[in-house]
Amino acid sequence: MARVPRDQDDETGRLFELQEEVDQLKEAVTSHAVVDQAIGMIVALGRMSPDEGWRVLKEVSQHTNIKLRNVAELILIWARNGEMPQQIRAELEDALDRHGPTQIPGTPPIG
């Protein structure tokens, strides 16, 4: 099949479309890394599986009406400097209580 020649405007427009797509993919990769790191923090804090950590992060986002990536960023900032908005902290504590173990693994039961 013969290639149909394109004019300069078509090629320039396509170049802009491709650059926009590359920028979106870069943003998605960065966002994914931030979310994965926050899940890792939740997993360590709550002594839970990554799937449970994902559920906790998702619940905090839904219950605070803050985008998931933004909640993840706030958790990572908290890990670095110890500061977290009270609304996020309270919801994170509640979600960890709902999903986390009732005791540290390997310790004898209380009571």
For 50-86, the pLDDT digits (tens) are 999 999 999 999 999 999 999 999 999 999 998 999 9
Question: Does residue 74 lie within any of the structural domains?
Answer: yes
- Which residues fall within 8 angstroms of residue 85, CB to CB, at 6 or more apart? 74
Is residue 89 in a domain? Answer: yes
Asked whether the predicted pLDDT for residue 10 surpasses 70, the reply is yes
The pLDDT of residue 1 is above 70: no
Residue 47 lies in a domain: yes
Q: How many CB atoms lie within 10 A of CB 75?
A: 25
Model pTM?
Answer: 0.69
CA atoms within 13 A on the CB side of 4: 3
In a domain? residue 49:
yes
Domain range for residue 44? 26-99
pLDDT tens digit sequence for 13-40 = 888 887 888 878 777 767 788 999 999 9
The total number of structural domains that make up the chain: 1
